[in-house]
Structure 1
Amino acid sequence: MHGTTPETLHEVLSGSEQLKRLENQIESLQRQVAQLTETTSDTNQLNLVVFEGYQDRLLAAFVIATGAAACGMDVRMFFTFWATPALRRGGMSAGKKSVIEKAFGWMLPASAKRTKLSQMDFAGIGRAMMQREMRRKNVADLETLIGTAGDLGVKIQVCEMSMRLMGIDRAELIDYPDMDYCGVATFVSQAAQANTTLFI
């Protein structure tokens, strides 16, 4: 290079190395931002863990789910343990069952309509009074809310372990537009992406 001193050449090379390091740092930051974007919680997603099988708590779960879905949120409901039988269609039993599984079938509610209240059920009297008041005051019942949830795109995921434990076959469950079956690990991985998870 004409007129270039060793000092100038050193400065040029040093500047080139610094530029290269800067480019590498920018690329590293871009990768980190991309990873952060992938793992950032989705503030528009709501997850509901539905554990209790009482009618009033199921009503609360579906009121929240349908309300959130109506507001444009992506809603997932994970049914596990005592809430699982509420998804049965009633009046049918599928597959060969053990004595214990048959006992579960007899003791657990055969459908959403047969679920009990968590308080003041009084062998069904309180439940009948509640349902009468809901009709009189034009409040949607549980079966209607389940249908509305399906219309609004609420996703229902059923715990496979709970189904196996209680001897509930897939053929015994209600017809629902977006129902899936999964384990806890699958739901937890999905819930980790959501901003809000409620346990009912």
Structure 2
Amino acid sequence: MIGVLALQGDTREHLHAVADLDAIGRPVRRADELDDLDGLIIPGGESTTISKLAVEFGLLEPLRKRIAGGLPVYGSCAGMIMLASSILDGRADQVPFGGIDMTVRRNAFGRQVDSFEGTVDISGIDGGAFHAVFIRAPWVEEVGDAVEVLGRVKDGPAAGRIVAVRQEHLLATSFHPELTGDLRVHRYFVEMVREAGQTTEG
């Protein structure tokens, strides 16, 4: 059972990707809906709005607890920001869920008009470079020792910038794989969830 946080953002596209991989997905809006999840996706959208609504819906602390307890979580774009331990250029009242020891710069690639598409090689994902869609996207300024850098922008003025990371049970990308029809990132996450379940059962 993989939940998709449905406070704001492109929830439907992630649910479709999960279903296409023969996993069960469902939207999550309340704290009690976290209880029986095997994994969670935090979608792209507006990170400040997601932060505000998480507080209003009583989800902030329950989510932090599940993340700290080992729940596999994947965050795309705004979801990456919400999983960061530190946010640059965020609002003063913006509070992340945390979990990944990284500093993320919000809207690093520019505003909506500066959105673009590019190629990213992602470690652990076969099939060649990933066609990535960046929409008001963040990038990772720095990571802690426990964080594995999975992908960087290949070309253009942002070449070399970190855009995909993993720390144990947590995965984050600054781009939107749910908008491309390429299921490889979601498949990678679903396998993370299944492996975590096998470890728990073992």
TM-score (normalizing by structure 2): 0.31
Choose between structure 1 and 2 for higher RCO, CA contacts under 8 A separated by at least 6 residues: 1
Compare the two structures and name the one with the higher helix fraction.
1
TM-score normalised according to structure 1 size: 0.31
Q: Which has the larger radius of gyration?
A: 1
Q: Which has the higher strand share?
A: 2
